[in-house]
A and B are shown apart, each in its own frame.
Chain A
Amino acid sequence: MELFTPEFGLIFWMFVAFACLYFILAKWAWPFIIKSIEERAELIDKGVAYAQEAKSQLDNAKAEADKIIAEAHSEQADILREAAKMRNELIEKARGEAADEAKKVSQAAQVSLEQSRKEAEKQLRSEVGELALQIAEKVIRRNIASDDAQRALVDQYLSEVETKN
Chain B
Amino acid sequence: MKSKIITAVVALVIVVLMGMGYQSAARHHGHEPEGEVDVKELIFDHLGDAYGWEVPFNHSVRIPLPIIVWGQDGLHCFMSNRITGGETYDGFKISTSEKYHGKVVQVLADGSEYRPWDFSITKNVAGIAIAALLVILMIIALKRWYARNGLKAPRGFKGALEFIIGFVYTDTIRPILGKHAPKYAPYLMTAFFFILTMNLLGLIVIFPGGANLTGNIAVTMVLALLTFLITNLSGTREYWKEIFWPDVPLMLKFPAPIMPLVELLGIFTKPMALMIRLFANMMSGHMVVIVLVSLIFVFTSQFSVGVGAGTSLISVAFTLFMLLLDTLISFIQAYVFTLLSAIFISMALVEPHAHEAK
Contact = CB atoms under 8 A, between A and B. Distances in A.
Contact of A25 (B131, B139, B217, B221): B139
Interface stretch (A29-37, A57-65, A112-120, A136-144): A29-37
A24 B193 CA distance: 14
B118 A9 contact: yes
Contact of A18 (B136, B170, B223): B223
Contacts of B136: 21, 24-25
A10 B166 contact: no
A124 to B, nearest CB: 115
Contacts of A29: 139-140, 142-143
Contacts of A25: 135-136, 139, 186, 189-190
A50 interface: no
Contacts of A67: none
Given A25-B186, A26-B186, A36-B151, A2 B166 contact: no
Given A6-B221, A21-B132, A40-B153, A33 B190 contact: no
A32 B144 CA distance: 10
Interface string A2-39: 11111111111111011011101110111111101111
A37 B170 contact: yes
B48 interface: yes
A41 interface: yes
Nearest to B131: A17
Contacts, number: 119
Contacts of A15: 222
B37 interface: no
Nearest to A14: B222
Interface in B77-117: 101-102, 117
Chain B interface, >50% SS class? helix
A10 B142 contact: no
13 contacts: A7-B49, A7-B118, A9-B120, A11-B218, A18-B132, A18-B190, A21-B136, A21-B194, A25-B189, A32-B147, A33-B165, A37-B165, A37-B169
Given A25-B135, A34-B185, 18 more contacts: A3-B283, A6-B216, A6-B217, A7-B218, A9-B122, A10-B124, A17-B132, A18-B222, A18-B223, A18-B226, A20-B132, A26-B186, A29-B139, A33-B146, A37-B166, A37-B169, A37-B170, A43-B151
Interface of B: 44, 47-49, 101-102, 117-122, 124-125, 128-129, 131-132, 135-136, 139-140, 142-143, 146-147, 151, 153, 162, 165-166, 169-170, 182, 185-187, 189-191, 194, 216-219, 221-223, 226, 283
- Sorted nearest first, the 9 A-B pairs with minimum C-beta distance are A6-B218, A26-B186, A10-B218, A36-B146, A30-B186, A14-B222, A13-B125, A9-B118, A29-B143
